[in-house]
Amino acid sequence: MRNLLLASVAVAGFAMATSPAGAGTWVSPVTVSGSSSMSVFGITDANVISGDYVSSSSGVQHGFVGPFNGSNYTSFDDGGGTTQPRGMNNKGYIAGYDITTLTPWERTPGGTLTDVTKKGTTLNQLAQGMNKHNVFAGNYDDTSGVSVGYLGKNAKFMSKIRLPISNSGVAGRGVDAAGDVTGWFIDTSTGLQHAYLIIGGTATQVDYPAAKYTVGEGLNDKGIMSGQYEDSSSLLHGFIYKISTGKFTALDIPGGSNTQVWGISNSDVVAASYPGAANGYVYCMKATTCPAPGVEVVEKEITVPLKSMPHYPCVNGCRTPLAPNAIHVGSWMPRAPQLAPGKFAPAQP
């Protein structure tokens, strides 16, 4: 569990250099009417967003989807009553889960929600992301309590995601159109989470420098990975990683704390949130693709070439034949901190 991850991740052997900074823009979408808090988890190339909000009158968590400008939000609920959409594709298919019952589901553009099953049995945990072929990914706990990453379609399990790195649990988070994969795994010796990338038959362990743990959350078709990490002060930060240049950019929502970064569109717009925020957020790498004007920032950049990180060849193939059709896969790891009334825990990664 995350609350047991106490050691720092070493970055020995990394060819690391700090560059001045990266410019970008933070923008908040129009708030869902009648909400007390709101989070954005997915964004399409047309800047349609999906996420959740809490009703200020009932305190119930609902899902929503609609244009960034709030002109046509649609609210919806799953069977458990605490709905959390985790990603969507340009067609309007959405994957998510109920945070109380831990039941993953798929929603069609017409609004039908169906629980995800494997051989007729409803799976547990979470589904996240959806590619243009309507393939999603998620994870479930097996009978031994080990996290198993998988790909699915039409609300059904299709195949497992494999990783050639010694681990005690794996989660997929993002898969681009070429079949490159990102996500996280649990180190068997330390209990720490590490991010990974699978590219061209080779798996690479990815850690943000000096982080306690790192998780990958998204991967677009331009080779940009999105994710989050925890620093030595136990604060969460988001990041993007450009695979071609080996450049990390740390992301922090202005005025917020514990920034969590989720999916990334092919327009290089990243969905983000922080616990208990009244508004959702997105980070735009380029002003020209931003859905609205916002707060311009300069973020710290660190270069860690991918080739300098630990590599592991895929002996029997890390991916299934379905992987090239999947994008923004997801997973959940048990973590239930006890909080005082009115406090908000980070969303499950």
Closest CA to 221 of 311, 286, 131: 131
Which residue type, as a one-letter code, is found at position 333? Answer: M
Per-residue model confidence as pLDDT tens for the chain (349 residues): 333 222 222 333 334 444 446 789 999 999 999 999 999 999 999 999 999 999 999 999 999 999 999 999 999 999 999 999 988 888 999 999 999 999 999 999 999 999 999 999 999 998 887 877 888 878 889 999 999 888 788 999 987 878 889 999 988 877 777 767 788 888 999 999 999 888 877 889 999 999 999 999 988 888 999 999 999 999 999 999 999 999 999 999 998 889 999 999 999 999 999 988 899 999 999 989 999 999 999 988 999 999 999 999 876 656 544 333 333 233 222 333 333 444 456 777 8
Are 301 and 21 in contact by the 8 Å Cβ rule? The answer is yes
Residue 174 has a pLDDT of: 78
Torsion angle (degrees, nearest 10) of CA 251, 292, 127, 196: -30
Residue 71, Ramachandran bin (φ over 0: left; ψ between -120 and 50: alpha; else beta):
alpha
Contact present, 239 and 248 (Cβ < 8 Å): yes
Map tokens 């046509």 to a residue. Answer: 72
Please report the pLDDT score of residue 16 as a whole number: 47
Whole-model pTM: value is 0.85
Write the DSSP symbol of residue 276.
Answer: T
Decide the pairing of beta strands 83-88 and 94-98: antiparallel
In the chain the domains, ranked by start, together with CATH numbers, are: 13-325 (2.120.10.30)
Predicted pLDDT of residue 344: 56
Instruction: Tell me the longest C-alpha to C-alpha distance in the chain.
Output: 55
